[in-house]
């Protein structure tokens, strides 16, 4: 088992890997999934209204928000399924909020082995950026540099019939223009 686990470790430039024994087992069973999209805060914030939400944003980047679905479901916690070592690679750049004219119209796309799996625009997400910020800051203080994963368009692997989970060798591209494309290989 140790040798297999070592083979699945991530090379952070630019591969997605696993390190938890439970996540390793899920990976072998093909139960690993992906999502996208992130913003950075620029100042301390508490009790921010939707109307003032964009005042605390520094900029935007991309994450490959990998999720071990079985691990997530077994523990009834999203955090556990998204937190194994090497999950959540980010990049390729951070752009400031003033570099995007209208974030609501920005297109998000995810490809697995060149097959488009997700496509959408920010305004069609389940929760808008202002709703996320208002909700989060009601119960916690955001500090400079905090990162908020904003969610993903429809098309995650678990949503297909049958589900399409990531497996070793898959190449994942998450694109958000004008930020660029984050590319990762699953190992």
Question: Pairing state of beta strands 180-186 and 15-16?
Answer: parallel
What are the structural domains, with CATH classification, of the chain? 2-186 (3.90.850.10)
CA distances from 21 to 4, 18, 73, 74, 100 (A): 10, 8, 16, 14, 41
Residue 174 above 50 pLDDT? yes
| % of residues, the chain, pLDDT over 90 | 31
Residue 21 above 70 pLDDT? no
Helix (H, G, I), strand (E, B) or coil at 51: helix
b/e map of 133-145 (b: 16 or more CB within 10 Å)?
A: bbebbeeeebeee
Predicted local distance difference test score (pLDDT) of residue 25: 46
Residue 2 above 60 pLDDT? no
Phi, psi of 121 (to 5 degrees): -120, 155
Predicted local distance difference test score (pLDDT) of residue 147: 87
**In Å, how far from its chain's centre is CA 46?**
24
For residues 87 and 49, the model is more confident at: 49
Predicted local distance difference test score (pLDDT) of residue 106: 93
Determine the Cα–Cα distance for residues 54 and 59; give it in Å rounded to an integer.
10
pLDDT tens column, 60-116: 989 887 777 677 777 766 677 777 777 788 888 888 899 999 999 999 999 999 999
56 band by pLDDT with thresholds 50, 70 and 90: very high
CB 18 within 8 A of CB 84: yes
């Amino acid at each position: 088992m140790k040798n297999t686990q070592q083979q699945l470790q991530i090379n952070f430039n630019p591969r997605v890997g696993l390190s938890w024994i439970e996540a390793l087992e899920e990976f072998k069973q093909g139960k690993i999934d992906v999502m996208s999209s992130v913003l950075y805060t620029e100042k301390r914030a508490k009790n921010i209204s939707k109307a003032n939400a964009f005042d605390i944003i520094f900029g935007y980047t991309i994450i490959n928000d990998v999720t071990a679905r079985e691990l997530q479901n077994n523990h009834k916690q999203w955090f556990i399924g998204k937190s194994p070592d090497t999950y959540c690679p980010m990049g390729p750049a951070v752009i400031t909020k003033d570099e995007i004219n209208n974030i609501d119209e920005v297109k998000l796309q995810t490809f697995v082995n060149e097959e488009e799996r997700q496509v959408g625009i920010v305004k069609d997400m389940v929760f808008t950026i202002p709703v996320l910020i208002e909700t989060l800051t009601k119960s916690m203080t955001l500090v400079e540099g905090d990162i908020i994963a904003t969610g993903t368009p429809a098309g995650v692997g678990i949503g297909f019939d049958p589900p399409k989970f990531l497996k070793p060798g898959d190449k994942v591209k998450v694109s958000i223009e004008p930020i660029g494309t984050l590319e990762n290989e699953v190992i």
